[in-house]
A = this chain, B = another copy of it.
Amino acid sequence: MDLLFLGTSSGIPTRARNVSGLALLENSGKGWYLIDCGEATQHQLLRTPLTLHGLRAICITHVHGDHCYGLPGLLASAGMARRQEPLDIIAPEGIEDWLRATFAMSRTGLPFELRFHAAESLGQWRTPQVRVEVAALSHRVPSYGYSFTEARPDPKLAIDRLERDNIPRGPLWGQLARGFDVEHEGRRLRSEMYLDFGRRPRRIVIGGDNDRPELLADTCRAAQVLVHEATYTQPAATAARDQFGHSTAAQVAAFAENVGLPNLVLTHFSARYQAKADGGFSIEDVRAEASAAYRGRLFLAQDFMRLHLDKDGELRPVTA
């Protein structure tokens, strides 16, 4: 599983960072998931190997424009690229009506189906590759985090159980091995009943805008990676006397340390934090503040940064 950051700026784009967008890539093949879709996410994709045909689902964390204004253009471009596969969109209520109103206004017809799932009542959503679950966060508007859990880590057929249940060796075993449920002599055989998994599943948690990281404590159990906003440093938040519903680097780092997360990726930085100190602010302030409270592996996201989570739960940069 890989993460490829498409936008890491909070609120407004800068020359170096676009507004929010993050791709999560399946372990094999070209399938990927998009978490948030700020304006010009489709433009960022043009500079990656990802295609709109490989996109399996879009998850939107909340309705603020810097997290969703790129949806209409990205979907329209997928249509112009003649995508036909239905596309699942998991998003807060309000997004569906707005997208439909937008396409009505602009007279845009898509050649593929949009399947909406309200984040408010999702429970879980799954493909053969991943299981997606949602967690409610705290922000100025309803905001959600999404966890992506590998569905079938190194599956092996449980021969003993297959033989015990008199399931004949052959094509049926193959179906079950590939994750498909099958019918046999009037019984429905569930694939997962006849598979053993070789290791812990990989699990990545991606937060939306949120001023209470501790709301992700349950979701982060058994996760190897948390991607979370750190819009401000503590001194900046204190000076503003208002965090506007956001977290500081110190706050997220302390949470990650408390729950023993091995890998933490911070993102969604206020535009004041530049690569080089500008007016007293530098992105290195964010790193220093987080490092002081967190002993795991810390990453500060940049646009086009790609990170690979290996089977042992280690997260490392991929160079292009």
Interface residues of A (CB under 8 A from B): 11-15, 18-19, 38-40, 42-43, 46-47, 63-66, 68-70, 72-73, 76-77, 80-81, 94-95, 97-98, 101-102, 105-108, 140-141
Contact = CB atoms under 8 A, between A and B. Distances in A.
A47 B81 CA distance: 28
A101 B96 CA distance: 12
B106 A46 contact: no
A63 B105 contact: yes
Contacts of A47: 15
Contact of A73 (B69, B77, B97): B69
Chain A interface helix/strand/loop/mixed: loop
Nearest to A81: B12
Chain copies in the assembly? 2
Given A12-B77, A64-B107, A98-B102, 4 more contacts: A39-B42, A65-B73, A65-B76, A98-B101
Contacts of A102: 65, 69, 98, 102
Which of A70, A80, A102 has most chain B Cβ within 10 Å? A102
Nearest to A46: B15
Contacts of A72: 39, 65, 69
Which of A14, A66, A95, A106 has most chain B Cβ within 10 Å? A106
Contacts of A13: 42-43, 46, 77
Contact of A80 (B12, B43, B46, B98): B12
Contact of A107 (B73, B76, B95, B140): B140
Contacts of A63: 105-107
A43 B13 CA distance: 7
A72 to B, nearest CB: 5
Contacts of A141: 107
A106 B68 contact: yes
Nearest to A11: B80
Nearest to A39: B73
8 tightest A-B CB contacts, nearest first: A40-B40, A39-B73, A98-B105, A65-B106, A69-B73, A12-B77, A65-B76, A63-B106
Contacts of A69: 69, 72-73, 76, 102, 106
Nearest to A15: B46
Nearest to A72: B69
Contact of A65 (B46, B94, B108): B108
Nearest to A77: B12
A12 B107 CA distance: 16
A98 to B, nearest CB: 4
A158 to B, nearest CB: 49
Given A39-B39, A64-B106, A73-B39, A14 B98 contact: no
Contacts of A95: 105
Nearest to A271: B80
A203 to B, nearest CB: 30
A46 B18 CA distance: 11
B46 A14 contact: yes
Given A72-B65, A73-B39, A97 B105 contact: yes
